[in-house]
Amino acid sequence: MSEVILAAVGISKRFDALQASRDISLDLRRGEIHALIGPNGAGKSTLIQQIAGRLKPDAGRIVLEGRDVTALDTAERARLGIARTFQVSALAMEDTALQNVVLGVLGARGGAYRMWGNALARGSLRDRAEQAVARVGLTNMATTRASALSHGGRRQLEIAVALALDPKAFVMDEPMAGLGTSGSHDLTELLSGLRDEAPVLMVEHDMDAVFALADRISVLVSGEIIATGTVDEIRANSAVRRAYLGEEEGA
Amino acid sequence: MKRAWVANVALICMLPVVAIWASMADEPFIITLATKVAILALAGVGLNMALGQGGLVSLGHAAFFGIGGYAMGILASHAQSYTPLLEWPMLIEGSNSMPVIWLLALVSSGLAALVIGALSLRTNGVYFIMITLAFGQMFYYFSISWPAYGGEDGLAIYMRNGFPGLNTLVPLHFFGLAFAVLLVALALATLIGRSPFGLALNAARQSSERVETAGIRPYRLQLTVFVLSGMVTGLAGALFADLNRFVSPSMFSWQTSGEIMVFVILGGVARLCGPLAGAALFILLEQLLGGISDYWHIFLGALLLLIILFARGGVMGLIAGPGERAHV
């Protein structure tokens, strides 16, 4: 078994009467894409938010490369290497693609409080940002404002910002959401290559993408992980078929 | 970008041209007006750092303007009456030297901005506006009820404070001084705008989630700019008090906060020279329309309405064209 990079250990979270996370344990290993699937309201977003730092779990720990990061906030976890992307793009819409990515480099390397010099001046800051922009195939759009990018372009840009953080792990909330067929095909290829840079934990509804990309799948139902395994194991799992896939596969 | 640059330079040059012309034509009142524009523009440049770059709608910047004013008033009144400001634990004398006064204005308004910002920035939107307004009003009522420095009546300072190498009683000298400070503030705003800090701050204005997930705390970025913003407006307050040789609680009033915001909106939010254009237009209207009617604010209100409805970029947006902010 390869090395665990990011792990949730015994995570529980309750909102009043709703048990959103029930003793969830999950790990993300080097080189893998780990998909988190489950019906609406299963608690996927709540789990992602606890891993990224926006929500604090009632019980349990989040561990990044052996270090307990449960007490740290979103910004600190991002600096340590948890790169998150959002279901609805969170970008600086008035800024250019390159400016958005420079922000990621600033976060990773520090220097966001430097008040002199041009943020976009030639140098290692910009080089790294341009490299990340090129990696996601947005070089031609580098000086385009985020608001003028297509939906797919914004998705790519979010990934470029995440890449600029030099992350230990990607945590992605529905990267395929709202993309057309060709758009999601392109993004599937991009995501597939990312696992070599850092493992990817992603929530995704697009089952074609999940089955094409995932090395392992975890199935979350009512705040509980009912199964974790390879694509074939999950397809064959009867509990999963009953609880979730059953509706689509027409068992 | 070129057009914006030309518009900025032209606007900045206009002020000294007017002042020098007025000096040659022996029109000291016009020089005083130009000085007032420079000082009010400085207050606006301060607010614009927080409002334009940081997206922080502060309706309490009169607090910093007033603190700057009282820094001048307190130091100068002790120098005027030859009484020490403080005898224990150490002897602190009053001062009638502008550099000393400015230093106190910068430090005290910066500290006030740190405290006010640290508390206010925990909220946002309309709550932020209300909290900053409330802090401004606290200072206002405190200054009214504090008898040691004039209370409601304010403090008159008989001699304008001095600056090494200049005769500040000569209107053109004092104008030059105020204008030079404005230039420094504009340079600072430009420097910050294009710096990594400016980029992060502008991103925080648009999406605090984006900045957070990039590993940067929006709160700290915003607090930093709020302090800088308060310091610049505080310095403007010290100069304004020296222009009038008078300090009063009205510097702390929420109308003052509103006027500073009007300069920024009239001239163009987030535009480098927006506050200058706004302050110049404000003073111009006050002189032209104020002569016609005591109710000239009605016309100002109508103009503000038109600008907000039809020219979001303010006066600078009309002159310089859209999109100055894209060139951070």
- Tell me which residue of B325, B301, B300 sits closest to B313, measured CA to CA: B325
Q: Please give the pLDDT value at position A1.
A: 55
CATH no. for residue B81?
Answer: 1.10.3470
Quick check: A75 contacting B, CB < 8 Å? Answer: yes
Q: Please give the pLDDT value at position A249.
A: 46
- The domain total for chain B is 1
Please measure the distance between the N-terminal and C-terminal CA atoms of chain B and give it in whole angstroms.
Answer: 11
> Burial code of A165-204, b = ≥16 C-beta within 10 A, e = fewer?
bbbbbbbbbbbbbebeeebbeebbebbeebbeebbbbbbb
Q: Which two tokens stand for residue A205?
A: 């509804």
**Rounded to an integer, what distance in angstroms lies between the CA atom of residue A37 and that of residue A217?**
7
- Tell me which residue of B60, B39, B123, B27 sits closest to B254, measured CA to CA: B60
Contact B196 A86 (CB under 8 A): no
Candidates B53, B201, B210, B232: best to mutate against A (most CBs of A within 10 A) is B210
Of A90, A104, A114, the CB nearest to B209: A90
Contact A92 B200 (CB under 8 A): no
Number of Cβ within 10 Å of residue A18's Cβ equals 12
Is the CB of residue A48 less than 8 Å from the CB of residue A204? no
Q: Please give the pLDDT value at position A13.
A: 96
pLDDT, averaged per 10 consecutive residues of chain B (328 residues), comes to 87 97 96 98 98 96 98 95 87 92 98 98 95 97 93 93 94 97 97 96 95 96 98 98 97 96 94 96 92 86 89 87 54
Q: Please give the pLDDT value at position A243.
A: 76
Number of Cβ within 10 Å of residue A234's Cβ equals 23
Q: Which two tokens stand for residue A88?
A: 């609805």
Contact B212 A78 (CB under 8 A): yes
Cα-based distances in Å from A202 to A65, A174, B33, B121: 18, 7, 62, 33
Contact A161 B326 (CB under 8 A): no
Domain hosting B250: range is 2-327
Nearest residue of chain A to residue B196 (CA atoms): A119
Q: Please give the pLDDT value at position A250.
A: 42
Does the ipTM surpass 0.85? Answer: yes
Quick check: B206 contacting A, CB < 8 Å? Answer: yes
Quick check: A83 contacting B, CB < 8 Å? Answer: yes
Q: Please give the pLDDT value at position A247.
A: 54
**Rounded to an integer, what distance in angstroms lies between the CA atom of residue B140 and that of residue A94?**
38
Candidates A55, A77, A115, A157: best to mutate against B (most CBs of B within 10 A) is A115
Q: Please give the pLDDT value at position B328.
A: 35
Quick check: A11 contacting B, CB < 8 Å? Answer: no
Which residues does chain A have within 8 Å of residue B216's beta carbon, measured at their own beta carbons? 75, 103, 106-107, 112
For residue B86, the 8-state DSSP code is B
Closest approach of chain A CAs to the CA of B237, in angstroms?
Answer: 24
Q: What is the longest distance spanned by two Cα atoms in chain A?
A: 63
Quick check: B165 contacting A, CB < 8 Å? Answer: no
Contact B328 A119 (CB under 8 A): yes
Domains of chain A by start residue, with CATH: 1-81+167-251 (3.40.50.300), 91-166 (no CATH)
For residue A198, the 8-state DSSP code is S
Q: Please give the pLDDT value at position B63.
A: 98
Nearest residue of chain A to residue B207 (CA atoms): A92
Of A76, A90, A164, the CB nearest to B210: A90
Of B191, B209, B216, the CB nearest to A112: B216
Please measure the distance between the N-terminal and C-terminal CA atoms of chain A and give it in whole angstroms.
Answer: 32
Q: Which of residues 308-327 of B touch A (CB under 8 A)?
A: 325-326
Size of interface A-B (CB pairs under 8 A): 112
Instruction: At A64, give phi and psi (nearest 5°).
Output: -115, 115
Spans of chain A below 50 pLDDT: 249-251
Nearest residue of chain A to residue B222 (CA atoms): A113
Q: Please give the pLDDT value at position A246.
A: 55
Closest approach of chain A CAs to the CA of B160, in angstroms?
Answer: 34
Quick check: A45 contacting B, CB < 8 Å? Answer: no
Is the CB of residue A94 less than 8 Å from the CB of residue B325? yes
Contact B203 A95 (CB under 8 A): yes
Q: Which of residues 209-238 of B touch A (CB under 8 A)?
A: 209-217, 220-221, 224
Contact B202 A95 (CB under 8 A): yes
Which residues does chain B have within 8 Å of residue A99's beta carbon, measured at their own beta carbons? 199, 203, 328
Q: Please give the pLDDT value at position B327.
A: 38
